[in-house]
Amino acid sequence: MSTYSISQLAALAGVSVRTLHHYDAIGLLQPAGRSSGGYRLYNEHQVLQLQQILMFRELEYPLAQIQQIMQTPDYDLIHCLRQQQQLLAGRIAHLQRLQSMLDFTIQQQESSAMTTSSQLFNQFSQATLREEAAQRWGEAEVRQSEQKMAQLSSEQQQKLAAEGEQIARGFAQCLHLPADAAEVQLWAVRQHQWLQQYGPCPLQRLVMLGDLYVSDARFQAYYDRFGAGTAVLLRDALHWYVASQSAP
């Protein structure tokens, strides 16, 4: 049985001596023993343990949890691995979304040399929102909507965005009116039609979206940019619209 000094083990595993000091201090990996001079001595068993620790660390487990896992005599390894798999898949998906966002941004940058910071902001927040949307409504729906968008030319996309803004301005100009006013309801209809260009939008979803516009600070901020209270008016208008539609 070969034994290793601390620097040997460090080199073997590709970590620093300080790391091993640290692991010893917190009790995660203690040396097999000490030499007469007080030097830490490790052997094969520690090498294996360290490799396992590093595996978990690679998967970004906190050290405390690694310790807990490895101290449990009969922990459910396979369950643990499965969990890890899920976590990894999520992280990869997240990064891939970021990447497609970046690709898109770069593409835009290259085509039109000038991009304002607000365009960047929009791209980023759209990516963020998309991710939340995927969680809220499921991956499939969001992807459908994305495909629909992808088929449109960028001109058409811009038109769509512009129409959204126009509607928002429309609501903002009705801030003095109640949600059930005819003019407000007209804008509600337009909002619904506009949303349907992104994909199917049943009335139920319209209600959820209305709530989202108020409860989500980012949507609120977006709409209230056109006038304080616009988000609330929009929500109430949509609620009223849905009520009138579902029970005519």
Give the interface with its own copies as residue ranges (CB under 8 A): 2, 4, 8, 11-14, 44, 47-49, 51-52, 54-55, 58-59, 77-78, 81-82, 84-85, 88-89, 91-92, 95-96, 98-99, 102-103, 105-106, 109-110, 115, 117-118, 120-121, 124-125, 128, 217-218, 221, 224-225, 228
Q: Does 16 bind DNA (CB under 7 A)?
A: yes
Q: If binding is defined by CB under 7 A, does position 35 make contact with DNA?
A: yes
Residue closer to its own copies by CB (options 102, 189) is 102
Q: Which positions from 53 to 92 touch DNA by CB under 7 A, shown as an x/- string?
A: ----x----xxx----------------------------
47 lies in the binding site for DNA (CB under 7 A): no
Q: Is 22 in the site for DNA (CB under 7 A)?
A: yes
What SS3 string covers the chain?
CCEECHHHHHHHHCCCHHHHHHHHHCCCCCCCEECCCCCEEEEHHHHHHHHHHHHHHHCCCCHHHHHHHHHCCCCCHHHHHHHHHHHHHHHHHHHHHHHHHHHHHHHHHHHCCCCCHHHHHHHHHHHHHHHHHHHHHCHHHHHHHHHHHHHCCHHHHHHHHHHHHHHHHHHHCCCCCCCCCHHHHHHHHHHHHHHHCCCCCCHHHHHHHHHHHHHCHHHHHHHHCCCCCHHHHHHHHHHHHHHHHHCC
| 40 scored as a contact of DNA (CB under 7 A) | yes
For residue 226, the minimal CB distance to its own copies (Å) is 10
Q: Which does 140 bind (CB under 5 to 8 A by kind): its own copies, DNA, none?
A: none
Question: Binding residues for DNA, per CB under 7 A?
Answer: 5-8, 15-19, 21-22, 35-40, 57, 62-64
